[in-house]
Amino acid sequence: MLSHLFSPIRIGNLTVKNRLMMSAMSINFGVDDNCHVTDQLMAYFVERARGGAGMMLVGGGSVHPGGQELPDLPQMYEDGCIPALKRMVDQVRPFGTRFGVQLMHGGRQSYLPEKVAPSPIPAPAVVKGEVRALTVAEIRHLVACFGDAARRCRDAGFDFVEIHGAHGYLINQFMSPNANIRTDEYGGSFENRTRFLFEILADIRARAGEDFPVGIRINGNDYMENGWELTDALTLAPLLEAAGVAYVHVSAGVYGSTELTIPSMYTPQGCFVHLAEAVKQVVGIPVITVGRIKDPVHAEQIIARGQADMVALGRSFLADPHYPEKARTGRIQEIRPCVGCCLGCIHAVLAKEPGGCVVNPDVGREYLMASGETAGESAGSIDKPRVRILVAGAGPAGLAAARECALAGHDVVICEQGEGPGGLLGLAARAPGRGELKDILQFFDRELARLDIPVRYQTPLTQDLLMEISPDHVVLATGSMPQMPVIKGLFTTSMHLVTGVDVMAGTETAGEKVMVLGGGMAGLIVADFLADQGKTVAVLNRKKSFAEEMSSNDRYYLRERLKKGGVTLYKQVSIQGFTPDGVIFSSKGEKQTLSGFDTVVISEKFEAVRAARSFEKTSAARFHVIGDAKSPRHLMYCIAEARELAATF
């Protein structure tokens, strides 16, 4: 079925077993104080090699200490890094995955107090701070740093390297007119702006050898005013081929671009494929595409249509390290899907914390587990008695807990007072652009069937049910509900008073002019949901910032939708009182009055639902509380807590 995706391909002098590349990701863990790789990063890559990746890249391989993108990324700038890298390569090699390193210098996008770039122009977003322009002598030194880094990679046994010339990092800064205003041989004309890149290529070939494959990641478009554009990429690609590059990996975006490098669920899948397809028309070497390609059938179609020669996946390899092998063996339905939330993989990393994954809490913990996904997920069954577990609640926390407990060999039953699975996550998936949240719920639903876990819907937890099931453990995953605030006039206003949950569930209908109380993720999502129906919406946020619990990448697209939907946002709101058809308040110290409204939607704070814990007093079972029932938070904690709890049984 996926014959194109799982056919071999030649990359330089290498034969790659399939067309799936795990793209480089700055995961920000797995290095020691010298930024040498540790067992943590080794096990992370071994698990993905075991899962069947054709090619795989170490991300953030810094060629110079002054260009380290993030503090906990592997360095390639001194020979002391080689022994640990070699141990990692040796552990990956038995699985037949071609293993490489992406070499980079962050330039003005480095998280360092002193930043350098082609010109003294600060990064347009994310990374703050002044920037110093490189001297010609420093540029030539950095050229040699790339060459030496590639030589170290070859000495460590890697199969290839990829030069990072995209995403607004140093090489891309040289190539983009808006970042390079130099007047010497490294600025001005297209030839001058690309000179740094071609000198790097020549130096790598001189130091690492003519036969060592070198790929390059370039932007097909910066999506910035006066930035690098597709026409530039089409001019550059044939020159790269002539210079001996083994492949061209086409991506897009920089910090602050209108289309984000790592887009969230709001962006169409395959969002950058058209850029790779255009580049493929002008070169004969393999072209790799990337950009929210999560469905193996979609990846197969891209290859079959000739839009690209390989497909690079990043977040999908975080969500399920065994994505390739499951796809190859026809088990597509068993692939744990990325939902495009950008929380664990991007939000955490940009906060200089270890990267992770909302749907896969084992990211970064592979070295603590046994070998393989199955062994890791069922490790709780080793030398432990089989127990009977009743899970109350079929939201994401409950579903994840039931799956993990069943994988560990226990007997599991789920009860859910609603008519179906999903909880608040299922409601959030009804909002415009957030339908992919259903993907993880559907995955869990399929897993329940595969593992033969019974689910009793329209069945709340009761004393009779406890007596019938007689569980050893009860997992309360009963979720949360909106908290009703006490504000002057709220309960005497003539406006219709409803909760965001009621509106999203369809049990209540909002009028045509609606104010939403709450500027967190839930409030903005319901505001978008209403604006999409053509309603006039104002959001009253009593906090300083909007939707802080969302990743910046996800929040960016939602905020753009709210702008287009005409939603009015107020923050730092202090409410004086509600009137019959509006509200009197101050926003950032300025007095405001809204009138002519017909509905107030409460979507501010949530409170845990765990009344069923009272049954613990009369039950022999041991009770455990996870997810929103423990404390209302986002999805990442729900699934992680389920994983951790299952390991204790």
Question: Could you give the residue numbers annotated as active site?
Answer: 169
Q: Whole-angstrom Cα distance, residue 521 to residue 526?
A: 9
Strand locations in 370-522, DSSP E? Answer: 388-392, 411-416, 455-457, 473-476, 480-482, 496-499, 513-517
At 482, is the secondary structure helix, strand, or coil? strand
Q: Whole-angstrom Cα distance, residue 197 to residue 143?
A: 8
Confirm if 187 and 180 have CB atoms less than 8 A apart.
Answer: yes
Residues 6+ apart with CB under 8 A from 546: 519, 520, 524, 539, 555, 559, 569, 571
Q: Whole-angstrom Cα distance, residue 41 to residue 30?
A: 4
Q: Whole-angstrom Cα distance, residue 16 to residue 6?
A: 10
Q: At what angle do helices 136-156 and 82-92 cross, to 10 degrees?
A: 40
Neighbouring CB atoms inside 10 A of 134's CB total 24
Pull the structure tokens for residue 35.
């930024």
- Enumerate the β-bridge partners of residue 248: 216, 287
Residue 404 is inside which H or E element, if any? helix 396-407
- What does the radius of gyration of the chain's CA atoms come to, in whole angstroms? 26
Q: In what order do the strands lie in the sheet with 568-570?
A: 496-499, 599-602, 513-517, 536-540, 568-570
Residues 6+ apart with CB under 8 A from 244: 201, 205, 210, 214
Residue in the structure block whose two tokens are 């493929």: 280
Question: Is the backbone of residue 263 left (phi > 0), alpha (psi -120 to 50) or beta?
Answer: beta
- Find, among 413, 397, 411, the residue nearest to 456 by Cα: 413
- The DSSP bridge pattern shows strands 131-133 and 582-587 to be unpaired
- The DSSP bridge pattern shows strands 115-117 and 131-133 to be parallel
DSSP per-residue letters across 250-271: EEE--TT-SS-SS--TTSPTTT
Q: Whole-angstrom Cα distance, residue 349 to residue 70?
A: 8
151, 409, 471, 473 from 388: Cα distances, Å: 56, 10, 5, 7
16, 22, 112, 155, 364 from 99: Cα distances, Å: 10, 10, 29, 13, 19
Confirm if 22 and 58 have CB atoms less than 8 A apart.
Answer: no
Strand locations in 49-107, DSSP E? Answer: 55-62, 98-104
- Enumerate the β-bridge partners of residue 475: 391, 624
